[in-house]
Amino acid sequence: AISFRTMPGLIFKRTCKALQIPVVRQKFRSKEEAQRVLDNCLKNGQPTGCQVGVYYLTYFPKEYRFHFNAHNIIVFGKEEDNYLISDPVMEDFTTLSSYELERVRFAKGMLAPKGQLYYPKATKSFDEKLLQSAIQSGIKRNVRDMLHIPGNVAGVSGINYTANKIRKLRDKLGVKQAGLYLAQLVRMQEEIGTGGGGFRFIYAAFLQQAHQYVANDNLLKISEQFTQSGDLWRSAAVQASGIYKGRITAQSDFNEMANYLDEIAMLEKNAFKNLSQIKWNN
């Protein structure tokens, strides 16, 4: 494994719990019943989340397809036999035919979706106090997960652990195989998986928006740290791409990528420590 993350869907589940949003979830044995329920949701104007397998998503480039069955998409409409899809990996809306959607909703293997769909039971408004509480609990959980998980393979310690592995990769595997490993890391961190620069930029934006509800200017300062971290993750990805493509293959090039990750770990450790010291006005 090259990254550790929460189980798929857990962030959505925790968010709904924190904001007291009831969610309807259904799994199916029958493909026909799964389509009927989805179509009924769409007829009622209800955008619906679906758990799907990645491998047969026809709108994904081939290099993005692998056997992972816990990807999530939103189906928000239907035109004749085509479903309108919002996928977080894609920049624009896309479509799947009824057969294509059925195929990915009932993909086989580990974490098989079993046609799972989900949607909010009802729309609701939020008062400021509830949002403040959700922001606080979410930040505290992230601080715990990044700073205080035992062992050295997750959180900030995991970034240092990966850096040390990268320094040894060239001698252990050879340039070509090591390049393939780094290409997979970039794919999972920056293109289709969870982590890397994009998610740091998202978290920086979250802290900026959190400042609208929690009037603590430290949130804005820490947001800048995560933006800086995101830039470094992107620089590390560029370095890895150069190694994979054979443009830079010396041991010093592997060391440079590892140095990026060590710098990221130090920066994020300080950022999360700063978050842990925020005084919440409850």
| Residue 132 within any structural domain of the chain | yes
pLDDT band, very low/low/confident/very high, at 63 (cuts 50, 70, 90) = confident
Query: For the domain that residue 73 is a member of, what is the CATH number?
Result: 3.90.70
Local structure of residue 279 (DSSP, 8 states): P
Same domain, 241 and 272: yes
Q: Looking at the structure, tell me whether residues 72 and 144 fall in a common domain.
A: no
In this structure, are 108 and 153 located in the same domain? no
Provide the domain limits for residue 92. Answer: 25-120
Q: What total of structural domains would you count in the chain? A: 2
Give dist(CA 208, CA 4) in Å, integer.
Answer: 26
Q: 153 with 102, same domain?
A: no
Residue 122, φ and ψ in degrees, nearest 5: -160, 155
Q: Identify whether 13 is part of a domain.
A: no
| Whether residue 146 sits in one domain with residue 110 | no
Reading the block at residue 264, the tokens are 């990221």
User: Which has the closest alpha carbon to 64: 159, 170, 188, 177?
Assistant: 188
pLDDT tens-digit map of 223-276: 999 999 999 999 999 999 999 999 999 999 999 999 999 999 999 999 999 999
pLDDT tens digit sequence for 100-133: 999 999 999 998 999 999 999 988 888 999 999 9
Query: Residue 219 pLDDT > 90, yes or no?
Result: yes
DSSP state of 187: I
C-alpha triplet 250, 252, 256: angle, nearest 5°: 125
Count Cβ neighbours within 10 Å for each residue of 44-60 and write b for 16 or more, e otherwise. Answer: eeeebbbbbbbbebeeb
Using a 10 angstrom Cβ sphere, with 0-12 exposed, 13-18 middle and 19 or more buried, the burial of residue 24 is middle
**What are 276's two structure tokens?**
């842990």
Sign of CA dihedral 21, 201, 191, 83: positive
Q: Evaluate if residue 10 carries a pLDDT over 90.
A: no
Residue 10 domain-assigned (yes or no): no
Question: Residue 191 pLDDT more than 80?
Answer: no
* pLDDT given at position 2: 58
The tens digit of pLDDT for each residue in 152-167 reads 988 999 999 999 999 9
